A and B are shown apart, each in its own frame.
Chain A
């Protein structure tokens, strides 16, 4: 590590001279020693074929520039954006990285990227040209196009009417005319743009989602409902198309890798439809240690040679126009189709306001596909977008708060000193040893619990936008509790979500305790055989990681393909869309969470039951108690001291059960089944990175639970046996 730093320092001083000499390939100056190779670090999130294409390009570059060594780092896509946000302002970031323009534009606006020389050969260069300065060079173009199964649809549709007709004609039992992720706004954008809809109004670039064009686009898609599979996920669409059970699909170049042997072709989406175009660029960090070398690598990667390599090996739809003169590319129907679609696509808006549009649009799509009127759905989406893209609250001075905090700290210290010493003075050695034993656990608690907690509470006093934090005092709390921007009874209101969370907790804990206790009573029967087997089987739900269980149940609740729907059909009941109504979505969540939670209560109840002396039941029998009387007057009261802590614990866990809510219902319909903790998550990671707001949410959750434990502690103390 240190050697590497010294190396970098040495090369940095060596390249402090004007850039012309750094990349000189002309007569090398005589040197006393061979210069160490210059090092460039490039981050990307490619896999498989695309990664192979990139590697091939890098190899070519290194051949041309033997004095430059390129180090690649592949980062999984989910972690990539936040890693970059964190690393770009520091010295530990990459020199170059590859990213799509939607997000990259944000980093450019934050001043993280170095300017580059433009190239007219590149398609889509305007995506990363901000205020006239080119800050990224396009490498590949990504948009969706129309995949069609050549056996079912030999000639692709040329108009919207044809698309609808072919889709309906090809829909029979088990086969669908069209399969695509219609609840994902990225795909729907093709229709929105096709019907002439826009997302923003000028001046001010404010979201304007409730337009007649948007309504028409939604209505068109809704009318296609019968020809498409419901609740489509990427896995479902791929599976259907692969098995020849989807005549057409709308998807991007990445889809090809999942299709196996089905006979398909890619065509342009019928005429008015214009999908979003995502331009994947190579970008140079402003803090690159070798700016000239980095710029030269970037130019090379966007250049013709690298483009051909990436197209041939990585199957990328490259942005370099001249690359398409190569016969290998020209003969590739797949690449040419996507290239043609790219010309007819619309650059995805990369303004900061765009981030606030995705979730509201998704909610509107889900609502319309489950029967809500498009105008109403869009109106709600508009309200959501406005609420999410809330302007920053006024910055406040931190001094009053600092002073208040200092006063509180002083008061706490005084109170502690004043408190009567209850323990006797221990010899110093004993005390020191005791602290030594406690120290490791205390240290880990400090680092893992207290420090993040304090950080989170502190964060709730700030507002975050584009990497910058401003102090806003208690404004976040006021906004949350005052339910600004939306009605109290709307799902995005804190109070609505609090009510849902309370209902969620009460129903679940009641079921957990009820079922757990009933099973424990059954297992206690001394005459029951195979008790050991039952006990193991009943523990299994708790043992399986709840993440997996949640995904399994979500699959089972799928309206068309889920096991629950098949069961309902077998019973002669019409299957329902579980996630289109609050009651059924809530029930689906409750079923999953109860499945996960009852074993814990069962185990606690079993243990508690075994601690009740058998003689008490005999005495009760002699006194004239029936089995029910015995349960009510002996079992239940004696179980209470053991069950109460379990109930308290269980309710706190359930209150914060993120996994089930997020993975099973995903908050549908329209965010109604979201609980406080999943709302906080969305504020932080799905709505404009509103970290401060989300931290305030979390602090409120903490305060609610704190109050709850204080109440239950009092109840528990009253229950202490005399």
Chain B
């Protein structure tokens, strides 16, 4: 296994800068997820690591060795493509064996490794079929198998689950986690789905418009987002934001007033970030408004309440009687309030006791 490091990497296509000065360190054996909305440059970054593109500036190193000018075939990486890119004219067995056959590996060893990967991914009964005869999930597993068989130093995944239906996606997520535990290999995974990101990653890196906004353990990013974008991107349903002003120890916004957590400067214009889990529907509370929309998910539900300062989404227990149009009050857990400055930067708050 090897670690991957990117330092000051830039990449443009024509006049468009897609990757803008990214510094990223992926430790050996880590499962790092690159997440961000479409067009943020994460796939390009992955292709730079694979060697399918060359950076305009900066350095990429795998296993401590610079990969400048090294072609993909010499980097010893395995890649799983979004559209699987299986060789349509070869059987599953031949697809899996392709990389090894190119290196003139011994017949016996090829059979061993192919059998091993097939068993791991439950592909054994499908070995003599062609990709055209497989379902989406089966093709996905063949694509993974093709990467596994070669035992590369680094695995690269380019949104591999995006073409699967929801149930299959959940199942494959579990299999990916098991795979990582089993192989203990360095994995870099690209996705735009933050649920996948949160569940799979040991390290999470959030990208936006070509820049790396924050990296760290998923829960760290969730609990302490470094800026507004990361805060709004992670967590489903998304965080609600209300404009307010810090005045005499309180956050004063349109139609509401909340206690200001320590660390907020007097007179500052801030955005208050409230996760649905920090809010509850109550008879009384700092926020008041009318219920605009209700989503019931069974065990719990989310209600969007239109307050004077803007809409907020609050979580409620599944059995609660919540109806559209009702006027409600929203209670706020003051210890889970996030503050963001005008430039989007999170304002460091000291943990305060809930009041």
Contact = CB atoms under 8 A, between A and B. Distances in A.
Same complex for A and B? Answer yes
Interface of A: 613, 615-616, 618-626, 629, 633-634, 637-638, 721-722
| Closest CB pairs A-B (n = 8) | A619-B85, A623-B99, A615-B85, A624-B73, A621-B72, A722-B130, A637-B89, A622-B79
Contacts of A638: 88-89
A633 B132 contact: no
A721 B89 contact: yes
A618 B88 contact: no
B163 to A, nearest CB: 13
Contacts of B78: 622
Given A633-B87, A638-B88, 13 more contacts: A618-B52, A619-B87, A619-B146, A623-B98, A623-B146, A624-B102, A625-B73, A626-B73, A629-B102, A633-B98, A633-B102, A722-B129, A722-B133
Given A623-B150, A633-B87, A618 B98 contact: no
Contact of A622 (B50, B129, B132): B50
Contacts of A637: 87, 89-90
Nearest to B147: A622
B355 interface: no
Contact of B88 (A621, A623, A721): A721
Given A615-B81, A721-B130, A722-B133, A622 B87 contact: no
B347 to A, nearest CB: 44
Given A613-B85, A615-B85, A618-B85, A623 B102 contact: yes
B85 A721 contact: no
The secondary-structure label for the interface of chain B is loop
B77 interface: yes
Contacts of A615: 81, 83, 85
Contacts of A634: 87
Interface in B243-282: none
A623 B86 CA distance: 11
Nearest to A614: B85
Contacts of B73: 621-626
A621 B73 CA distance: 5
Contacts of A619: 79, 81, 85-87, 146
Nearest to A641: B89
Contacts of B103: 624
Contacts of A620: 87, 98
B71 interface: yes
Contact of B102 (A613, A616, A625): A625
A534 B72 CA distance: 31
A623 B73 CA distance: 6
Contacts of B130: 721-722
Nearest to B103: A624
Nearest to B86: A619
Contacts of A622: 50-52, 72-73, 77-79
Contacts of A722: 129-130, 132-133
Contacts of B72: 618, 621-622
A619 B77 CA distance: 11
B87 A616 contact: yes
B352 to A, nearest CB: 51
Nearest to A637: B89
B90 to A, nearest CB: 8
Contacts of B85: 613, 615-616, 618-619
Interface in B97-125: 98-99, 102-103
13 contacts: A613-B85, A615-B83, A618-B85, A619-B146, A622-B51, A623-B150, A624-B73, A624-B102, A633-B87, A633-B102, A722-B130, A722-B132, A722-B133
A716 to B, nearest CB: 15
A76 B344 CA distance: 92
Contacts of A621: 51-52, 71-73
Contacts of B81: 615, 618-619
Nearest to B133: A722
B29 to A, nearest CB: 21
Contacts of B79: 618-619, 622
A621 to B, nearest CB: 4
Nearest to B131: A722
